[in-house]
Structures are given as C-alpha cells and as structure tokens.
C-alpha cells in the first residue's frame, strides 16, 4: 500500500500567525493578574480542540460546553473576544457532522453572538469556517467556526503599519465574562441540546 494519506492530529499544530500582539489590559477596567494569563504556544502536538475540553474550563479557555459542541477562546485572536465553536468530534469538514451536531453547531454560533452582544456590544461580526489547509485553516483536522466581534473603528492603522494589534483585555478575563453570559443565555436557546 503506497501513497495512502492518513491524517494525524499531530500534523496539524495550531499555526501562530505573524502578527505581533500588544496586550493592553490597562485600557479596560480589568486588572492584570500575572503573566500566566498570557497565551502560550501549546506544549504538545495534540489537536488543541481535542485537548481543550479535557482541561478545566479555565485552563482550556472554554466559555461553554454543549452536548455536541463547545465554545473556546482563540489563543491568537483576530480581534478582541474572538471565540470558536467546535464539535467535540475530531472531524475536519462541516459535511461530516450529523444532524444533531450540525444543529447545535449553528445554534451555538447564534448563541455566541448573543453572548457577545451582552458582554461587549459589538457593531458587527465576522463568522466563518476555513475548511482544509488550502482554505487557510490553522487546525485543518478539527472543524471550528470563528465568531469574531467587530466594533466601528477596530480596524485601525496599527495592524497594517506595525503588524500589531492592541488587545485590551486578557483571554482569561474575556472567557470569564463569556462563560457567565453563556450560562445565563443558553436556556433561552434551548441549549445544550437534550
């Protein structure tokens, strides 16, 4: 048997992009606790979306756990508050989800928007999935839907000029705020699925 490609999660470590981020928690009313709150590169090559749910919510930066999917903070956010909805199951394409998974996947995405609206009142959202490495998926082997809040004026000159984005809030604080809102709002969305 030759030329048979078997996907190994270890072949798809999260890709750190080239954008440097300037963490500026002092801009918000949150207090910088310690440097441990800063994101670090994963120490293992295990699929991060399989590894995440095995940790505590705090350690895994998980904002919400459903029956088939969960919401996790992005370690390398495109913007403040960047969240991802992932199935627990290690599949790469949305076509591989069964009906229950697909329903909760999309329903949790709308719930995530409502959570963001409650926590930080965005003016808009970017929502989408990169499926396959060729399409730009950082962790191609494990499906994840990006939910990125946007505010008027957030796309300022800094990312272009300095390859830097200002991140005015720490991931752990953002997770805490999201988790609280998820818990509060999920029942209105009949989530998690029974």
Closest to 102 in 3D by CA, of 121, 113, 89? 89
Catalytic pick among 68, 82, 142, 144: 144
Binding site listing: 74, 136-139, 146
Candidate ranges 26-34, 55-63, 135-143, 150-158; the one touching Zn ion (CB under 5 A)? 135-143
- Among 38, 89, 90, 114, the residue binding Zn ion under the rule CB under 5 A is 90
Residue of closest CB approach to Zn ion: 47
| CB neighbour burial string for 24-51, b if at least 16 within 10 angstroms, e if fewer | ebeeeebeeeeeeeebeeeeeeebbbbe
| 75 counts as binding Zn ion under rule CB under 5 A | no
Query: Measuring CA to CA, how many Å separate 136 from each of 131, 149, 189?
Result: 7, 20, 31
Tell me the closest approach of the beta carbon of residue 62 to Zn ion, in angstroms: 14
**Dist CA 34 CA 193 (whole Å):** 37
| 50 counts as binding Zn ion under rule CB under 5 A | yes
The yes-or-no answer on residue 190 being catalytic is: no
- Among 142, 146, 165, 175, the residue binding Zn ion under the rule CB under 5 A is 142
Q: What are phi and psi of 126, to 5 degrees?
A: -110, 125
Question: Can you give the binding site for Zn ion, defined by CB under 5 A?
Answer: 47, 49-50, 90, 142
> Which active-site residues does the annotation give?
144
């Amino acid at each position: 048997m030759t030329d048979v490609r078997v996907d190994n999660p270890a072949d798809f470590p999260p890709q750190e992009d080239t954008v440097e981020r300037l963490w500026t928690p002092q801009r918000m009313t949150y207090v910088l606790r310690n440097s441990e709150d800063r994101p670090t590169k994963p120490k293992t090559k295990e699929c991060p979306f399989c590894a995440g749910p095995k940790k505590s919510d705090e350690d895994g930066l998980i904002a919400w756990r459903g029956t088939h999917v969960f919401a996790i903070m992005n370690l390398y956010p495109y913007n403040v508050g960047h969240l991802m909805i992932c199935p627990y199951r290690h599949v790469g394409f949305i076509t591989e989800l069964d009906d229950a998974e697909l329903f909760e996947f999309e329903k949790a995405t709308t719930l995530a928007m409502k959570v963001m609206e409650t926590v930080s009142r965005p003016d808009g959202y970017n929502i989408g999935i990169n499926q396959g490495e060729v399409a730009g998926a950082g962790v191609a082997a494990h499906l994840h839907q990006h939910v990125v809040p946007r505010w008027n004026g957030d796309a300022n000159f800094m990312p272009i000029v300095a390859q830097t984005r200002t991140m005015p809030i720490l991931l752990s604080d953002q997770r805490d705020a999201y988790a609280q809102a998820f818990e509060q709002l999920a029942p209105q969305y009949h989530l998690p699925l029974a």
